[in-house]
Structure 1
Amino acid sequence: MMRQDGIVRFSQDGHWDRDVQVLLQHVRSEAVVAVSNPTRSDDHLRLGQLVVGDLLAHGKQVRLLYSPGYLETRDRQPLLRHSSLGAQIRITDNDFHNALILDRRVAVLWSGAGAEQPYAYLIRDPALLRALHQFAVLAWQSAGGLTDHLNPLRAELGEAGRKVLRTLELGLIDEAAARRLGMSLRTYRRHVADLMDRLGVQTRFQIGMRAAELGLLGRAREL
């Protein structure tokens, strides 16, 4: 390793993931994992899975920020499993570095596949850590949810569309549904027509069937 004012450069032997595993054993409460351009190394992929799995198993707060490109290279099932275990996962198109930030006291930055000069740095400098953590959290907060990314139609429906979908699932007549949602009957029926158009169906019954196929009903029930 090469040290310089709170910054340590890992050696390029391809085994710096072992050093990261040691850091993970001392996480107190929080980890932010941001992966934009992953390496092609299976070892590093296993490290990422270890990071998330171990932290969640020990009750730590985990925020995961991924790029759309990362999702295209990975099996979705592990991501959905991590989400079900409590990981907070979001997807952003913004540019960012691969980073692992632990308890706001230590971070690791590393290059992705195709880097001309591969690098991996351990950061302990307080000022730089604050900046990295702030940037990662702001990027995470402005990003979209994993389920909305996997199913873009869910995000496109909007809150009003999902509420209308919920009233259809409940079997409410138009007048009662419009009153429940605080909108005019004409506006309500316009939303219903929009749902039919977006889902590519011809009847209200088909709206329910298609919404169930796309996994939209579970989200509507939360409203």
Structure 2
Amino acid sequence: MNERECAVGLDRRTEFVYRMMLRRRRWRPSELAAVLDTTEEWLGGVVAELREEGLVTASADDEGALRAVEPALALPALATRRFQDAQSTGLPGPLEVERLIALHERSVERPAEPLGAGSADEASALVERLVATVRREVVLLVPEHSAGSFEFSRHVAEAVLRREAVLRQVWSASFLHRPAAVEHARWLGAQGAAPCTLPHVPTRAVIVDGAVGVLFDAGGGARVLRGGSGLDALNGLADRLWDNSMEVRQATSPLPAPPSRPRRERVLRLLADGLTDDAIARRIGVSVRTVRNDVASTMVGLDARSRFQAGVRAAQMGLL
């Protein structure tokens, strides 16, 4: 089925499989096919669509298994890509996206105590949910390279940068000989978020807006810090490490300039800033009629009755 529904921007079968995958942390294709009472061949086609849309990724714990990317991170990214595509007709409905995210968030345990050891998938899911709330800054302290971990996920980095927050990463220099790490560093540099290095990074941690921290132990267990002396100490450590670090040299290698923002996104941002249609047209070098057409199509896509409502829903969807 290719028909796009008005819910979260997926066709019925693809959305159904995604929702099913959210019920467990990871699935092997044979297990998921059995639960869905279908063939692995049919499932493979749906999973390929989900991976292309950034809603499913490989498990970091079980080779050959898959996991659903957290909806708080994946669905706004999907909405942004659809919005940037002027030909797209499958813009997710803001209210449906918000409802699915809220439903999933309520089903996920949010412990203040240690999360347990060993699961890279659990760690990635936790970080995806936290990063989806960022307003100002995300800090990653990375003592070692681990393929498939959230520190080297483009989905996570893109979510931070899409919200125009700062992404600061301090890596241990010991793994810069690994081609995958160098490639990721160069990609980050092209996004204006080059990582920095030190000879030794003493701990693995994530900090979001200085208000929430996740501190990992050597066994992969994690503790969430929300205020208190522990978080203060972690913030202080991150600042000291950053101040003494050096930008990764490979990340500054010449790369093609990143593409400019699509016109519809620029129009929406300028509209949210309070500019008139005439001022927007002059700013981006198009006709007033083009601006008005972009505004009208955006309002339809966001199911908004006014420009103000369009701005509010765009912000809710992470488009601004």
Q: TM-score range with shorter-chain normalisation?
A: 0.5 to 0.7
Q: C-alpha separation between the residues in 2 aligned to 1:95 and 1:78?
A: 18
Give a deviation string over 1:101-145, Cα, whole Å, max 9, x none: 00011111224xxx4x43222111332112111111111111112
Check conservation: 1:66, 1:90, Cα contact below 8 A. yes
Contact 2:150 2:156 in 1 (8 A): no
Under a length normalisation based on structure 1, what TM-score does the superposition of the two structures give? 0.55
2:191 matches 1:89: no
CA distance in 2, matches of 1:118, 1:140: 23
Q: What's the CA shift for 1:13?
A: 6.4
Superposed CA RMSD in Å reads 2.8
> Alpha carbons of 1:72 and 1:110: their partners in 2 closer, same or farther (altered >3 Å)?
farther
- Asked if 1:121 is matched to 2:223, the reply is yes
When Rg is computed on C-alpha atoms for both structures, the one with the higher figure is: 1
Q: Is the aligned partner of 1:36 residue 2:143?
A: yes
Which ranges in structure 1 are unaligned for 5 or more consecutive residues? 152-223
SS of alignment partner, residue 28 of structure 1: coil
Task: Decide whether the 8 Å contact of 2:175 with 2:181 is kept in 1.
Answer: no
**Structure 1 runs (4+) greater than 4 angstroms displaced:** 148-151
Distance 1:65 1:105 in 2: 19
- The one-letter amino acid of 1:37's match is E
Q: What displacement does 1:41 show?
A: 5.5
Deviations 1:41-60 (A, max 9, x none): 52x25764332222112211
The answer as to 2:159 corresponding to 1:61 is no
- What is the one-letter code of the residue matched to 2:236? Q
Over 3 Å counting, the alpha-carbon distance change for 1:82 and 1:19 in structure 2 is same
Letter in 2 for 1:10: L
Residues 2, 8 of structure 1: 8 Å contact kept: no
2:245 equivalent to 1:140: no
CA contact (8 A) 2:194 2:251 kept: no
The match for 1:52 is 157
**RCO higher in structure (CA 8 A, sep ≥6):** 1
What is the CA-CA distance between 1:150 and the residue it aligns to?
8.5
Are the structure 2 counterparts of residues 141 and 10 from structure 1 closer, same or farther at C-alpha, using a change threshold of 3 Å? same
Q: Residues 50-71 of structure 1, C-alpha deviation per residue, up to 9 Å, x if partnerless?
A: 3222211221111110001232
TM-score, L = length of structure 2: 0.39
Q: May I ask how many residue pairs the two structures share in their alignment?
A: 142
Deviates more, 1:92-101 or 1:66-75: 66-75
Q: Is 1:107 equivalent to 2:230 in the alignment? A: no
